[in-house]
Structure formats: structure tokens, C-alpha cells
Structure 1
Amino acid sequence: METTDKTKAPKYNVHIYLESNPNPNSLKFVTNLVLIPEGESFDFPDAESAAHAPLAQELFELAHVERVFYMSNFITVTKSQEVEWVEIQDKVKNHIKSFLEEGKAILVNEAVANGTAINEEDSETVKKIKGILDEYIRPAVEQDGGAISFHSYDEGVVKVLLQGSCSGCPSSTVTLKAGIENLLKTMLPGEVNEVEAESV
């Protein structure tokens, strides 16, 4: 009787499709699996920051990968400007696919999520700012393969963290000023005067 070797059969049947976004150096690798709990995100601006993220560590070992971002059911990878996506996208996609199909954890130990969760100690203004970011801005930014999280508020100035595809994106400054700043000024007149991006 013939036996079949099942050791190489994938644990999960993983499908990945690619989505472009406003940052030409970033690409969104969307999977059919939920990778990260709702509302959480993990941004790795370099290999050192990915100590608790085995998949991100492996992606940084691939040539031209400069940043990795996890959220929901997708991974956003940012490449260097020296290459075009068409040259490396299949290698990145196949690496993510085989890693996930083996059922390996993409996060281990004390990985800390980024988010805009409201704390009891927050002032009323900060609670309102976080609520607006969460309800009106986060979904649009996620669509583009990135994330935004509250950093600080002081005397009318809101600082936010732009992550994933938003970090280093040519259009992120326009989004920040024309979109986010205008919305917060309109919804919180007298409380918000300016919005700035805090780099990670």
C-alpha cells in the first residue's frame, strides 16, 4: 500500500492578494486569516524593533525590505526606492504565504500593540480626540495599509503616530494637514489648533 508524506502539507490554506496604496514604496499583502486582534497594530521601522516578531525579522532579511507593519488581516511592507515592486513582490508574498501556512506565530512574548484606546485618566479633550481618530480617521488609514494612533495633546497641539504605509508617504503630510487637522479643528473648535506627526 502506498503511503503519502503529509509532513509538507500546509496547516492553513493561505490566500494573499496585493493592494497598492498612496505610498509607492509600500504594498499591502492581504490574507484570508485574521492576524492581529481588532483595533491593534504593530509597526516595525527596522529589524531591531522586530525582536518579538519572527515573520517581520525574516522579511527584513530579504533584500530591499525597510519596514514591516501588521494589522487585522494584512501585512504592509515598505521597500527601498532602488527597486520596483515588480522585482520583489512575489518573493515577499511567497515568504509570507509559506510562513503563515506552517502555522507559525507572527508575534511572540511581550510584543506591544499600538492603539488609541481610551484610558480613564485621559482628559475629556483627549477622549474626544481618540474617539474621532478611531471612528472617522482610522478606517480610511487602514484601507491604505497603515495606521494612526494618538501620541499626545498639549495646549491645542495634537501629535499622532503614522505607521505602516503612512510612514514616509509623500501624501501623508497632505492627509495630516488637509484631512486630520481640518476634521479635528472643525469637530473640536478652540481645543485643537494643530496636528503634527511624531516619527517612530
Structure 2
Amino acid sequence: MPKIVDIDETPNPNARKFLLREPLSWGIAHSYDNAQQAQGDALASALFAIPHVSNVFYIDSWLTVTQDGQANWDKLAREIAIPVRAAPAASAQSAAAVFAARATVAELSPEDRQRLDDIELILDQQIRPYLQSDGGDLHVLGLTGNQLIVHYQGACGTCPSAISGTLQGIESRLRTLEPDLEVIAA
């Protein structure tokens, strides 16, 4: 059962990042914008049952919960702690469930697959660590021509700066690889 080690504020005032002693997943991101999306995920469903919870994102040993801005964080954090402590640690998950959860990008040509691999390398090394330190992440939804479609997760999903400054910074960094690349947040 995961224990909360610390709770960090994020750049998004409506989100908090919960650092855990044990991992909840093995490198698989779980991101939900509402209770309906969370069906089948016991932890996320329990968190959405708490009033004011509007987004749940977790991977490895941390969890980000976003609220609607109407709750007191001290009280809400105590309520969030209950289902987090009751959740199974990643070691209790089966390998089959982990592999089934891996997201895939639509069929790509070998050239586009290489382009996407190069983009993912930059995202993994230079972008995601910063987003993750703030309780969020970025998932690539697709690559079509010169458009990279991404989806913000966790605290980044509702952060006002994610769509403006952060997106521009990501696009600027990726344009060193592909000068005509356009990054679109979906």
C-alpha cells in the first residue's frame, strides 16, 4: 500500500503532486479527465468520488490530483490520502495488465516512426522531466505531416501556462530537430 511521502504545490494552483514511497505503476501513465474515463481504474474512481476532484494523473511513484478550485487543499489532501493508501502498489499488478495498458500511436511509415522516435527522445530527455517535476506530463497522440498532436496530463492539463508558454517552448525546442514542426495541444 503506497504511503504519501510529500505533497508538492505545482504551477497550477488547482493541482497538487503527491509523492509516494511505493510506485502505483511501472512506467505506465494513467490520466483521467473525469469519472467516466476512470471506470475500470479503482484508484482513480475512488478519487473522483471525492467532491471537487476534476482530474487524476499518476505514473510510477507520484500522483497528481486537480480540483475544481472550490475546495480547501488541506481538507481535500486528507480525503485523497485514504484511497491512495488503500491502492495496491505496482508490485501487486500483473505484467499482463501493464503491457495491455501501453498506449500506441497509429500506424506510421518507417520514416515517420523514426521521426517520432527522435521527437520522443527529445521529449523524454528535455521536456518531460520538467513537466513531471511540476506534477504533469505530455502524451503524444499522433504525428501527421508536420503536425505533432500532444495531450497534457496531470497538473499541466488545466494549467493556464501550458497552452501558451509551455507549448511554445516545446515547439521551439522540437523545431531544432524539425524546423517546420507545429505542436498542437488536444
Fold-level match, TM-score > 0.5? yes
Q: Please report the TM-score for the alignment, with normalisation by the length of structure 1.
A: 0.78
- Secondary structure of the residue that 1:195 maps to in structure 2? strand
Aligned to 1:176: 167
1:71–1:115: structure 2 CA closer, same or farther, 3 Å change rule? farther
Alignment of 1:1-200 (within 5 A): 12=1, 14-38=3-27, 40-100=28-88, 112-114=101-103, 121=110, 123=112, 124-173=114-163, 174-177=165-168, 179-190=169-180, 192=181, 194-198=182-186
Per-residue deviation, residues 4-50 of structure 1 (Å, max 9, x unmatched): xxxxxxxx572431011111111111110021113x20101111111
1:83–1:97: structure 2 CA closer, same or farther, 3 Å change rule? same
Contact 1:51/1:57 (<8 A) preserved: yes
1:131–1:85: structure 2 CA closer, same or farther, 3 Å change rule? same
Contact 1:65/1:78 (<8 A) preserved: yes
**Residue type of the partner of 1:59?**
L
- Secondary structure of the residue that 1:93 maps to in structure 2? helix
CA shift for structure 1 position 114: 4.4
Larger Rg: 1
CA shift for structure 1 position 99: 3.8
1:61–1:161: structure 2 CA closer, same or farther, 3 Å change rule? same
CA shift for structure 1 position 189: 2.4
Could you tell me which runs of 5 or more consecutive residues in structure 2 were left unpaired when the two chains were aligned: none
Contact 1:146/1:165 (<8 A) preserved: yes
In 2, Cα distance between equivalents of 1:157 and 1:120: 15
1:183–1:76: structure 2 CA closer, same or farther, 3 Å change rule? same
Contact 1:166/1:172 (<8 A) preserved: yes
**Residue type of the partner of 2:173?**
L
In 1, Cα distance between equivalents of 2:155 and 2:54: 11
- Secondary structure of the residue that 1:29 maps to in structure 2? strand
Q: Percent identity?
A: 29
Alignment length (residue pairs): 178
Contact 1:59/1:92 (<8 A) preserved: yes
Please tell me the root mean square deviation across aligned C-alpha atoms, in Å.
Answer: 2.6
CA shift for structure 1 position 94: 3.4
Q: Where is the helix percentage greater, Structure 1 or Structure 2?
A: 2
Q: Please report the TM-score for the alignment, with normalisation by the length of structure 2.
A: 0.83
CA shift for structure 1 position 84: 3.0
